[in-house]
Amino acid sequence: MSDFVSDTDRDILDTLVEHRVATAVHLSVLLEIPERTIRYRLAQLKAKGYARAVRPPADKGSSPDHWCPTRKADSWSKGERAPHGGDKAAPSTTFVEHSGAITALYVALLKATAGLGLTEWEREAGAAEEFEWRSRPRKIVPDAFIVVGDKKTAYRAFVEVDLGSMSMTRLSQKLSGYAAYYAAQAWADIHPFPPALLLATTSEARAEGAIARFEQRIAQAERHAHSYSYRGRDEWVPEMGACACARYPDEAVGEPVWLSSGGGDGLYLTDLLRPPWERWAEQERTRRQEHERREQWRQSLRADPERCRKEIQECGSSRSFEDLAEALDQRGCLALKLLVQRDRKMDATERAAFAFFSRRLGWSRRGDLTAAHHPPPPSEQERRAVHSLASRYAERQKRYVARLYARGSDSPAIGQAIAHLDGGDFLRHDELARLPGLIAAHRNNLSELQRRRRAYLTWRAQSIVRARRAKRVLARLVFDPQHAERELDLERLWFCKPCGQLAIPTERDLAIPSVPDCSLCNLRAATSLAEALGEGLIRPDENGFWAVCHRPVPAWVLAEAARPLAKSAGLQEEW
C-alpha cells in the first residue's frame, strides 16, 4: 500500500478488517488516537477506496458514520492484488448496525474494570462450535465468545446481540440450538465449564420473553438427553442472562441491568458469569487436593515396601505386578511372585528385592495402584537383589518342608515337595499353603487305608482257603498259597501315581470286580500292580503285602527334620 502516508492508516485498516464495522469513536478507543485524527484518516482512506461510511437510521436524531472495509482493503489485508470491477454494493444498514453493536460491546469490555478485564474475544467465525445432537450434526454461531476476569478468575460467555430485527420465532430457534448444546454437554470438548449465554436486546419485554423461551427449550432438551448417552459427565445448569441495553453497551457491562434464567433481576454482569466459574474453581481445588493427596500416598508407597505390598494385595493388582517379574529368569520370577503374595514382615533381603516393584509403580485412570505400562528393563543391581532373594527363599522352603517331613514323612505331598526342591526349583505360594492340609488329609485317610487293608487281607486269606479246598487231593499237596496270593494281588490291587500309594478295593469292589478308587484322592487308580512293580514304585514287604518304594531322603531333609517342629507351627510361622 504505497499510497499510505503513515502507519496510522495501516492500523486503522487492520482494525476495520478485524471488526468489519466501527465508528470513529470505537477506533479512537481501540487505537488510542485522537478522534479528530481518526476522522481525518478515515476520510483519506475513503478517498483512496479502502473504506466506506454507512449511516444506519436512529430512533432520535442521527447516528454516527459506521465505517466498513472495502474489497480493496480486504485484499490488502490478505496480501493479494486489488480486485477488478470495483467494490460491491454497500452493506445493509441492518448488518452495519448489528456489527457496530458488537464492536461497541468489545470496546465497552476493554474499558471495563472491577474484575472484567477482557482476555479473549472471538467473533462469529472463530466462536462457532459444532456438535452432535440426536444423531445429527448441529452448530451454534454466537455473535461473540468472551473470556473476562482478572488474574484469579476467567469467566466465559457466549454473546448474542439482538437489535429487534429478528423475529421471536427465529430467536427461539437460536435458543433451541444453545439448549441442545448445553444438554449434550458439548461444551466439555473445548471449555472447562459451560460458558454463560448473554443476550443483549432492546426491551425488557423482549429480554423476559427470551429467557422464558430458553427455559422452555432447555427443559425439553434435558428430557431428551436423559434417554441418550449424553450424561457421561457432571450435570451443569446453564446460566442465561438478558438485558435491554443492546444499544448501550457501557450500561450492559457496568450496571445492574441483567435478568437471569434463575429468576434473578437487577444483576451485574459478574453476578451472571461468576457461578459457573466458582463451581469449576471449587472442583479444581478439590481435584488438586486429591491429586496432592494421591501423590503423597504414592510417594509413601514407594518409600514403604510393607505398605506398598499390602496395597497391591488389597486392590487386586497382584497379577499385573507378577507379570513384571517375567522379565527375570525363572527362579527370580517365582521368588518375586512369592514376595508379592507373602504377608509376613519383610527382612532386609526382601526389602532390597521389593525395590524392583517400587520403581515400576503405575496408576490406573481411577487412581488405583497398578504396574507401570512401560517398565524399564531390570538393572544389574536389581538382578543381584532378586538372586539373593531366590537363594533365601530356597533355603526357607527347604527348612520348612524338612520340618513338615518330621510330622508326616509318609505323606506323598511331602515326598513330591522334597523332590521338587531337591531339583533346584521353588514351590509356588499355593503349593506351600496346601502342604499342611495335605499332610492332615493323608493322616486322616490312613485309617481308611488301614481298614481297607485289613478287610482285603481277610478276604484274600478266605479266598485262598476256598481255592485250596476246591482242588483235588493231590493238587492240594502242591498248592502254593504265596503264589495264589500274588495272583490275587495282581488282579485286585492297583496303584495311584499322583498320591503315591496303593489303591486297595473296598468290600463292594471285592464283591463286584472293578478298578478301585484311591482312598486319598477318591479318583480311580490308573496304574495296575504289575505296572507299578515294573516301574519300581512298590515292593513286597516282610509281612506278605506290598510297600511303597520311597526315594532316598536328601541329607538336608534329615538334618533339619531332627529339630522338632512346634505343635502350633504352620505356614505363617515357618514360612
Residue 86 is predicted with a pLDDT of: 65
What does the pLDDT look like over 38-62, one tens digit per residue? 999 999 999 888 899 999 888 777 8
Asked if the structure places residue 2 within a domain, the reply is no
> Residue 45: which CATH number?
1.10.10.10
The residue among 68, 91, 114 that closes a domain is: 91
Pairing between strand 155-161 and 196-200? parallel
Cα torsion 320, 324, 326, 332 to 10°: value is -120
Same-domain pairing of 367 and 488: no
Question: pLDDT at residue 568 above 70?
Answer: no
Residue 228 is predicted with a pLDDT of: 54
Same-domain pairing of 112 and 230: yes
Asked if the structure places residue 475 within a domain, the reply is yes
C-alpha 109: how far from chain center? 42
Residue 571 is predicted with a pLDDT of: 42
Asked if the structure places residue 68 within a domain, the reply is yes
Q: What are phi and psi of 390, to 5 degrees?
A: -60, -40
The answer to whether the beta carbons of residues 53 and 46 sit under 8 Å apart is yes
Going by the DSSP 8-state scheme, the letter that residue 185 receives in this structure is T
Question: pLDDT at residue 271 above 50?
Answer: yes
Question: pLDDT at residue 1 above 80?
Answer: no
Q: What is the rounded CA–CA span in Å between residue 190 and residue 298?
A: 31
Asked if the structure places residue 565 within a domain, the reply is no
- Assign 137 to helix, strand or coil: strand
Mean pLDDT of 449-469: 88
CB-based contacts of 453, cutoff 8 Å, min separation 6: 504, 545
Asked if the structure places residue 560 within a domain, the reply is no
Mean pLDDT across the chain: 86
DSSP H/E element including 450: helix 429-469
Same-domain pairing of 265 and 332: no
Residue 161 is predicted with a pLDDT of: 96
Asked if the structure places residue 297 within a domain, the reply is no
What does the pLDDT look like over 283-318, one tens digit per residue? 999 999 988 888 888 888 888 999 898 888 888 778
Same-domain pairing of 264 and 327: no
Same-domain pairing of 161 and 38: no
Asked if the structure places residue 561 within a domain, the reply is no
C-alpha grid cell for residue 165? Answer: 430485527
Mean pLDDT lowest among 93-107, 184-198, 216-230, 465-479: 216-230
Instruction: Give the confidence band of 398 by pLDDT, cuts at 50, 70, 90.
Output: confident
Same-domain pairing of 117 and 201: yes
Q: What are phi and psi of 235, to 5 degrees?
A: -80, 135
Residue 573 is predicted with a pLDDT of: 47
Residue 373 is predicted with a pLDDT of: 85
Residue 432, number of CB atoms within 10 A of its CB: 22
The residue among 44, 63, 91 that closes a domain is: 91
Same-domain pairing of 237 and 332: no
Residue 196 is predicted with a pLDDT of: 96
Residue 48, number of CB atoms within 10 A of its CB: 15
- Assign 123 to helix, strand or coil: coil
Calculate what percentage of the chain has a pLDDT beyond 90. Answer: 38
Total tally of structural domains belonging to the chain: 4
Mean pLDDT of 251-256: 93
Question: pLDDT at residue 114 above 70?
Answer: no
Residue 80 is predicted with a pLDDT of: 81
The residue among 284, 314, 341 that closes a domain is: 284
Same-domain pairing of 354 and 437: no
CB-based contacts of 20, cutoff 8 Å, min separation 6: 68, 69, 99, 103, 123
Same-domain pairing of 377 and 261: no
Same-domain pairing of 280 and 311: no
Mean pLDDT of 122-134: 92
CA distances from 205 to 2, 208, 462 (A): 53, 5, 116
Same-domain pairing of 224 and 329: no
What does the pLDDT look like over 518-567, one tens digit per residue? 887 888 888 888 898 888 888 888 888 888 887 788 888 888 777 755 54
Mean pLDDT lowest among 12-16, 208-212, 220-224, 458-462: 220-224
SS3 per-residue string spanning 330-386: HHHHHHHHHHHHCCCCCCHHHHHHHHHHHCCEEECCCCCEEECCCCCCCCHHHHHHH
Range of the domain at 184: 100-284
Asked if the structure places residue 575 within a domain, the reply is no
Same-domain pairing of 330 and 389: yes
Q: What is the rounded CA–CA span in Å between residue 283 and residue 281?
A: 5
